[in-house]
């Protein structure tokens, strides 16, 4: 038995979905780099291209951001600019006439620039059917590196799985958020789904979010 890790991180599902006959709703996630002005509205938007996402889909995601408004950041009592990564998750419901797309969540986070993963915990493969969801979080420092990584899980989880999450996030590099043009420390959180499977390992990645920021 081999195991596969499904990392609920920054990769959209269209590359997988287009190769399958999908009838159930599924999630697609998109990253963007956004500069919000002192009025809380987007002044500049750069979509982060993900394999398999079509230009019309990315344009629809961009349109959402163009209409969004956040609570302005302040410095010394004055509203200032805020540059951040934005992670969006959409629910796609297939249908006979193309289906529908619904925005499920939007979160402002440091933008990942490099993603790398530690060695898989091979002992997990010894438990057929084992599945565990772990949440890794860290404070992204001004140099774009994770500080101490915290890991939590609802169920009892092997220490090897927790170490995998910690060591993986320590390898990541981020673009820090900026307030008034200056980098600031900020929090990053991601969910990791690890599961043992029969057959060859599959690289299957999907976004999921915990906090929701609604645009007005």
The predicted structure's pLDDT at residue 128: 66
- Residue-level pLDDT, tens digit, the chain, 216 residues: 222 333 333 222 233 333 345 578 888 889 999 999 999 999 999 998 777 788 888 898 999 999 999 999 999 999 999 999 999 989 988 877 767 888 999 999 999 999 999 988 887 756 666 778 899 999 999 999 999 999 998 877 889 989 999 999 999 999 999 999 999 999 999 988 887 754 333 333 333 333 333 333
The predicted structure's pLDDT at residue 156: 77
d(C-alpha 121, C-alpha 136), whole Å: 16
The predicted structure's pLDDT at residue 70: 96
- Under DSSP, the state recorded for 171 is H
The predicted structure's pLDDT at residue 163: 93
Q: Can you give the pTM of this predicted structure?
A: 0.75
The predicted structure's pLDDT at residue 119: 86
Per DSSP, the residues of 52-101 read: T--HHHHHHHHHHHHH-B-PPEEETTEEE-EEEEEEEEEEEE--TT--EE
Q: Could you tell me if residue 38 is left (phi over 0), alpha (psi between -120 and 50 degrees) or otherwise beta?
A: alpha
């Amino acid at each position: 038995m081999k195991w596969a890790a499904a990392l609920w991180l920054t990769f959209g599902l269209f590359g997988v979905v287009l190769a399958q006959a999908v009838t159930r709703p599924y999630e697609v996630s998109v990253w963007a780099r956004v500069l919000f002005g002192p009025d809380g509205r987007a002044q500049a938007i750069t979509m982060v291209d993900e394999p398999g996402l079509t230009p019309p889909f990315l344009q629809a995601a961009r349109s959402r951001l163009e209409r969004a408004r956040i609570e302005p950041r302040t410095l010394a009592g004055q509203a200032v600019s805020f540059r951040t990564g934005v992670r969006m998750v959409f629910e796609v419901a297939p249908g006979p006439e193309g289906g529908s797309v619904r925005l499920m969540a939007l979160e402002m986070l440091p933008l990942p620039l490099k993603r790398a993963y530690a060695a898989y915990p091979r002992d997990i493969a010894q438990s057929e059917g084992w599945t565990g969801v772990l949440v890794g979080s860290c404070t992204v420092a001004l140099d774009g590196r994770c500080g101490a990584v915290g890991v939590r899980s609802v169920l009892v989880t092997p220490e090897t799985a927790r170490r995998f999450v910690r060591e993986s996030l320590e390898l990541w590099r981020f673009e820090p958020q900026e307030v008034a043009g200056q980098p600031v420390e900020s929090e990053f959180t991601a969910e990791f789904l690890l599961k043992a499977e029969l057959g060859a390992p599959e690289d299957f990645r999907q976004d999921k979010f915990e906090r929701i920021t609604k645009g007005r």
